[in-house]
Amino acid sequence: MVHAQSTPVLDIRWDAVSQVSNTTPTLQVVVNPPLRRGSAIHDSAFRALHDLGAEYVRYVPWLPYPKLAVAELEPGVWDTSLIDPMTTDFFNATEGHTTILNFSTIPAWLFKTEKPVTYPTDPDEVTWAYTQGKDLRENGLQDLADYYARLVSWYTKGGFTGRDGKQRISNFHFKIPYWEIFNEPEIEHGMSPQDYTRRYDAVAAAIHAVSPETKFVGLALAYPSSHPEMFEYFLDHKNHRSGIPLDMISYHFYSSPAGSETPEHWQYTFFDQADGFLNTVRYVEQIRRRLSPETRTTLNEIGNILPGDPAGKETIPEVYWNASGALYAYVYLGAMRMGIDVVGESQLVGYPTQFPSVSMVDWKTGSPNARFWVLKLIHDHFAMGDKVVETRGATGDVLAQAFITRRGRALLVVNKRNAKNTVRLKVDWKDADVSVVDSSAPPHTIALAGSSIDLEPFAVAVVYAR
């Protein structure tokens, strides 16, 4: 562990407002067996989601569990008996808040494949081989659009009339503020910009016909720095059908250390890779502003993936959760400074076989870990409309940013290092309130002793002047 460091006295210019925050912190919920009713952590995980009260939570029934993600695994056979309970629980936990739904996994029978794609009989058995095929079958584009229209009708209009003329009744009348179309399409089915845009347009038009109020999120790229052509093509309105909205785009970032790395390396790798991602964000923002300035942006998968995932390990060192929480706070601040609309942490529940290192709760107990508590700390203290003011004096080991918030003058501090750090403030901060996430997470509040903040390794703190 490196030795403790101390910053110079922070110089905060409260009259020098650089911008007004337009950024909402949030998370994604990826469907997997621990979120099914009856699991040991179902209740506590959904309770944590409800109590957080975040906007723009992303809900993703996804490919490792086809029976939990695809409503029509065989043509004409509609079965949401395993999907509805979790989806209902999600709607209930986020009631009153704006959400983004993404049933990202396309029925495999819509694609040309050498042989029919199989899937496990056991809905809890993981598979990574379901998303086969690149080209849609004959009439596949219309069938794709119709599938998603049926799915949205199922959850918003109480059901639908099937292709056989029979009524299928759900009695669901939920609101879907945003629908994200597909997930990581450059990986899943290897979509070109032209493929993706045609399919986006078809699905958006079909969903809009049954749910006119729904807005859309596009792209959801896994590797944005590798695919500038996706942004260039998709954000150019001339490449879309007339009237198709480009409400929001999305893309992802995971810091991934090498297998030989330890926390001593993570303290540099995580944040160096985050800086690289933030450079990508700047580049994408230039494309977006040039081609479609009205389109908003959500960075809706932010996290870390340790070597060995998706299978992962049963035991991950406790300091990792603090390091990953600090990385989220770091990316949130960097994206906020660029005016990004939504920054979403990934993900509520992960567990061995399905990316344990991205989990925000303990997959055995359901208790939130430091990654969740950092999000809650930011969510509870900062919001759109906060004024960002000039903040000087932090070292390369600490990120510090002052705000004028609805509650008063506040300071967000992130310790990037696996060592204690001290942040020194002017004397007028004496006896300020400090809320901190460190090794004793959840957040706890203390009165500042003197005018210095002592931070544990990878701690994230919010300081309010009294």
Give the model confidence (pLDDT) of 42-92 as tens digits.
999 999 999 999 999 999 999 999 999 999 999 999 999 999 999 999 999
Q: Where are the domains of the chain?
A: 5-10+389-464, 22-381
The answer on pLDDT for 7 being more than 80 is no
> CB–CB of 424/430 below 8 Å?
no
Least confident stretch, 8-12, 34-38, 183-187, 188-192 = 8-12
Most confident of 347-356, 423-432, 443-452: 347-356
The Cα–Cα gap between 71 and 105 comes to 10
pLDDT at 450: 81
pLDDT 10s digits, 175-185: 999 999 999 99
Phi, psi dihedral angles at 411 (to 5 degrees):
-135, 125
> What is the band of 395 on the pLDDT scale with cuts at 50, 70, 90?
confident
What is the rounded distance in angstroms from the CA atom of residue 272 to the CA atom of residue 396?
Answer: 11
pLDDT at 448: 85
| Spatial distance between the Cα atoms of 117 and 182, rounded to a whole number of angstroms | 19
Residue type, 28: Q
Average confidence (pLDDT) over 166-191: 97
Please, which pLDDT band fits residue 210 given cuts at 50, 70 and 90?
A: very high
pLDDT band for 5, please (50, 70, 90 cuts). low
* Residue indicated by tokens 């621990």: 34
Which of these, 203, 201, 211, 213, lies nearest to 243 by C-alpha position?
A: 201
115 residue type, one letter: K
Average pLDDT over residues 135-147: 97
**Percent of the chain residues topping a pLDDT of 70:** 98
Pick the CATH number of 22-381 from 3.20.20.70, 3.20.20.80, 1.20.58.1290, 3.90.79.10: 3.20.20.80
Cis link prior to 347 (omega < 30° from 0)?
yes
- The predicted model gives 209-214 an average pLDDT of 97
Contacts of 424 (CB under 8 A, 6+ apart): 6, 7, 8, 9, 10, 451, 452
Mean pLDDT of 357-374: 97
Rounded alpha-carbon distances, angstroms, from residue 381 to 308, 402, 407: 35, 12, 8
pLDDT of residue 4: 58
Q: What is the pLDDT of residue 217?
A: 98
The length of the chain, given as a count of residues: 466
Taking Cα atoms as reference points, which of 404, 385, 445, 455 lies closest to residue 425?
455
Residue 3 amino acid letter: H
Give the pLDDT score at 132.
96
- What pLDDT does 99 receive? 98
Burial group, residue 273, by CB count within 10 angstroms (0-12, 13-18, 19+): middle
Q: Can you give the pLDDT at residue 313?
A: 85
Q: Is the dihedral of CA 291, 294, 298, 299 positive or negative?
A: positive
Residue 1 has pLDDT above 60, yes or no: no
Q: Which stretch of DSSP H or E encloses residue 342?
A: strand 342-345
Superfamily of domain 5-10+389-464: Golgi alpha-mannosidase II (2.60.40.1180)
Residue 382, classified by CB atoms within 10 Å of its CB into exposed (0-12), middle (13-18) or buried (19+), is: buried
466 close to 432: Cβ distance less than 8 angstroms: yes
Q: Is 359 helix (H, G, I), strand (E, B) or coil?
A: coil
Q: Report the C-alpha gap between 67 and 125 in whole angstroms.
A: 10
pLDDT for residue 333? 98
pLDDT exceeds cutoff 60 at 420: yes
DSSP 97-128: S-EEE---PPPGGGB--SSPPP--SSTTS--S
HSE (side-chain half, CA atoms, 13 Å) at 436: 20
Of 8-12, 128-132, 313-317, 429-433, give the lowest mean pLDDT range.
429-433
Where does the pLDDT of residue 394 fall: very low under 50, low under 70, confident under 90, or very high at 90 and above? Answer: confident
Q: For 230-258, how does the pLDDT look when each residue is reduced to its tens digit (9 = 90+)?
A: 999 999 999 999 999 999 999 999 999 99
Q: Is the pLDDT of residue 449 over 80?
A: no
What is the number of other CB atoms lying within 10 angstroms of the CB of residue 172?
A: 17
Cα 20 to Cα 385: distance, rounded to the nearest angstrom: 6
Say what the pLDDT of residue 248 is.
Answer: 98
How far apart are alpha carbons 416 and 397 in whole angstroms?
A: 5
pLDDT value, residue 164: 84
Mean pLDDT of the chain: 95
What's the average model confidence in pLDDT over 167-178?
97
Give the tokens for residue 257. Answer: 């250390």
* Residue 220's pLDDT band (cuts 50, 70, 90): very high
Asked whether the domain spanning 22-381 has the same topology as the one spanning 5-10+389-464, the reply is: no
- Count Cβ atoms within 10 A of the Cβ of residue 210 and give its class: 0-12 exposed, 13-18 middle, 19 or more buried: middle
